[in-house]
Amino acid sequence: MVQHMGKYSIFSLIRNALAYHEGWERAWRSREPQGEYDVIIIGGGGHGLATAFYLAKEHGITNVAVIEKGWLGGGNTGRNTTIIRSNYLWDESASLYEKSLQLYESLSQELNFNIMLSQRGVLNLAHNLHDLRELERRVNANLMNGIDSEILDTKSVKNFVPIINTDPNSRYPILGASLQRRGGTARHDAVAWGFARGADERGVDIIQQCEVTAIKQSRGKVTGVETTKGLIKAKKVGVVVAGHSSELARMAGFRLPLNSYPLQALVTEPVKPVLDTVVMSNAVHVYVSQSDKGELVIGAGIDGAHGYSQRGSLHVIEGQLGALCELFPITSRLRMMRQWGGIVDTCPDASPIIGKTPVDGLFINCGWGTGGFKATPGSGWVFAHTLATGEPHALNAAFTLDRFTSGFLIDEHGAAAVAH
Amino acid sequence: MLLIPCPYCGEREESEFHQGGEAHIERPKDPNKMTDEEWADYLFFRDNRKGVYLERWVHRHGCRRWFNVARDTATNQIVAVYKMGSKPPKSITSRVTMK
């Protein structure tokens, strides 16, 4: 089952180079659905593929299908700004995101696939006294949880990011920043591809262009899904569909506390290296890093109104670019090359929902809103545990759907980079 | 950018407006008599529909008045605009499943 794909190494590179690169195998196979699986995962993005990978690897469950209505990693996984960090305020979130960051740190080796993790540091800027107090509170909370985090004053910010504008007379002056040095970026597509390859290698079926049209149930228990490629049976189904979670929940007969919005990002033309870290600002809503190709990757805020159109409003990015030019005057004459949008499923407390649903055997992993990419391996890891055992792992036990009834909310609006 | 037909001022750009979430959610008359589930449903649970969605808007930088909009969230097409307190027009109710 594994033989068709060799291990990637310096030797395979040389061997294939000598053969004019004509011998590379596909990294994973696109399958047609079988009639029945132990577990079906709806959604072939990073979180779904990570779930399938850890189901196979950690729990030995390999009779698994990942079904994706479009193409693998073509939703928010391929549309985010690739930022990774774990500097969240509350213990529940800090543990979950830190688990994810730790998995990221060894993921290239684990998957034998270069995800190009670059721990270049992530800065969160403070533009007023309140921002600064909140950042200090969060840095202290991080340190209590064993997560690296520090406060920089204005001068240190300038030293760390020489192109930043620290003029005290600017509209949003920089009073300081928090810095997580272990934060950074990774190649988003590679994360999806690496998990897909690892899952496929272990026997998981990846089925693309297969849309779920109904969730089959019998006496309150899930029995399978109806799809555009026919009925597929399973006693356990995991829904990992980000922006479309409310629609899938509606098919299954329950509601979620989610609101879906378009979130945009854009890249500039490539330039020489000017920025070797990630800079984020909650107050002016812009976050930026420079890709290996030299493009500045810029994230915007969410749209003002709900939407499933995967394209946002122009006035939103006008605001973002205004903020960018004030923070980095050097960028004012850069041209934008591409702009795109994804649909983010925001939760009232800016924390995800990972666990059971009112339907037996149907589990959901959603509500990551504007910050799901950093959580990809951790989310898959805990969701695989939840699907395999039927119960949440200690790391996702607090992230239930019930918390909106019990009132045990995990308010991470301060740590989420994009206000919603 | 949406072009929103304010029922009082006519068509204006989206940046003059602010969206106020799902329409037709009534504040419960007696919260003390509700179960936790009902209260959670009122506070947090939403339709979040792909398709024709009923929402509230306020013309913040114009007449400052609130009104309802029926908009297809997949295409951004505005299907109907109607005043606060009134029900959605009959022409669209077939396209919307009210909860």
Is the distance from CB of B70 to CB of B56 less than 8 angstroms? no
pLDDT of residue A310: 87
Yes or no, beta carbons of A247 and B50 under 8 Å apart: yes
For β-strands A336-346 and A278-281, DSSP reports them as unpaired
Distance CA A242, CA A224 (A): 20
Torsion of CA B74, B76, B78, B82, to 10 degrees: 80
Q: Looking at the complex, does the CB of residue A358 fall below 8 Å from at least one CB of chain B?
A: no
Distance CA A338, CA A360 (A): 43
Is the distance from CB of A44 to CB of A51 less than 8 angstroms? no
Among the partner-chain residues B13, B43, B48, the one whose CB lies closest to the CB of A258 is B48
Yes or no, beta carbons of A306 and B44 under 8 Å apart: no
Number of H helices, E strands in chain B: 2, 6
User: What distances in angstroms separate CA A361 from CA A133, A190, A217, A387, one per listed residue?
Assistant: 44, 31, 10, 8
Task: Specify the amino acid at residue A203.
Answer: G
In sequence order, what are the beta bridge partners of A224? A216, A233
pLDDT of residue B62: 96
Among the partner-chain residues A306, A404, A405, the one whose CB lies closest to the CB of B48 is A306
pLDDT of residue A1: 41
Distance CA B55, CA A19 (A): 60
Distance CA A83, CA A288 (A): 9
- Total Cβ atoms within 10 A of residue A383: 29
Residue A343 to chain B, least CA–CA distance (Å):
11
- Read off the DSSP letter of residue A260: E
Quote the Cα angle for A417-A102-A84, to 5°: 25
Distance CA A196, CA A202 (A): 10
pLDDT of residue A416: 79
Select the residue from B2, B47, B48 to test the A interface by mutation, using most A Cβ atoms within 10 A: B48
Q: Which residue of A has its CA nearest to B35?
A: A405
CB burial readout B10-26, b (16+ within 10 A) else e: eebebbbbebeebbebe
pLDDT of residue B93: 74
pLDDT of residue A284: 79
ipTM for the assembly: 0.94
Please give the CATH number for the structural domain made up of B3-93.
3.30.2270.10
Yes or no, beta carbons of B13 and A309 under 8 Å apart: no
State pLDDT tens for residues A225-260: 999 999 999 999 999 999 999 999 999 999 999 999
pLDDT over 70 at B1, yes or no: yes
Give the end-to-end CA distance of chain A in Å, rounded to a whole number: 45
Show the tokens assigned to A341: 């949008």
Yes or no, beta carbons of B14 and A304 under 8 Å apart: yes
Classify residue A369 as exposed, middle or buried by CB count within 10 Å of its CB (0-12, 13-18, 19+).
buried
Select the residue from A213, A256, A405 to test the B interface by mutation, using most B Cβ atoms within 10 A: A405
Distance CA A282, CA A29 (A): 41
Show the tokens assigned to A43: 């959604």
Distance CA A317, CA A266 (A): 9
Chain A (147-166) residues lying within 8 Å, Cβ to Cβ, of chain B: none
State pLDDT tens for residues A171-206: 899 999 999 999 999 999 999 999 999 999 999 999
Record the pTM.
0.95
Is the distance from CB of A196 to CB of A28 less than 8 angstroms? yes
Residue A146 to chain B, least CA–CA distance (Å):
33
Is the distance from CB of A266 to CB of A339 less than 8 angstroms? yes
HSE-CB of B82 using CA atoms within 13 angstroms: 17
pLDDT of residue A283: 79
pLDDT over 90 at B95, yes or no: no
Find the DSSP H helices in A31-187: 46-59, 91-105, 107-111, 129-144, 154-160
Q: Looking at the complex, does the CB of residue A260 fall below 8 Å from at least one CB of chain B?
A: yes
Distance CA A235, CA A280 (A): 43
State pLDDT tens for residues A71-86: 999 999 999 999 999 9
Show the tokens assigned to A121: 């540091």
Show the tokens assigned to A14: 């040389």
Q: Where are the beta strands (DSSP E) in A295-415?
A: 296-302, 336-346, 353-356, 362-366
pLDDT of residue A408: 96
HSE-CB of A299 using CA atoms within 13 angstroms: 27
Yes or no, beta carbons of A306 and B55 under 8 Å apart: yes
Maximal CA-CA distance, chain B? 43
Residues of chain A with pLDDT below 50 are: 1-4
pLDDT over 70 at B99, yes or no: no
Secondary structure of residue A416 in the 3-state scheme: coil
Q: Phi first, then psi: give them for residue A340, nearest 5 degrees.
A: -150, 175
Chain A (283-312) residues lying within 8 Å, Cβ to Cβ, of chain B: 304-309
Q: Phi first, then psi: give them for residue A5, nearest 5 degrees.
A: -115, 125
- How far is C-alpha A328 from the geometric centre of its chain's CA atoms? 26
Chain A positions touching B44 (Cβ under 8 A) are 257, 348, 404
- Read off the DSSP letter of residue A140: H
pLDDT of residue A362: 98
Select the residue from B14, B50, B54, B57 to test the A interface by mutation, using most A Cβ atoms within 10 A: B50
Residue B15 to chain A, least CA–CA distance (Å):
7
Confidence of residue B58 (pLDDT cuts 50, 70, 90): very high
Secondary structure of residue A385 in the 3-state scheme: helix
Distance CA A383, CA A189 (A): 21
Secondary structure of residue A256 in the 3-state scheme: strand
Task: Specify the amino acid at residue A9.
Answer: S
State pLDDT tens for residues B4-55: 999 999 999 999 999 999 999 999 999 999 999 999 999 999 999 999 999 9
Q: Looking at the complex, does the CB of residue A258 fall below 8 Å from at least one CB of chain B?
A: yes
Number of H helices, E strands in chain A: 11, 19
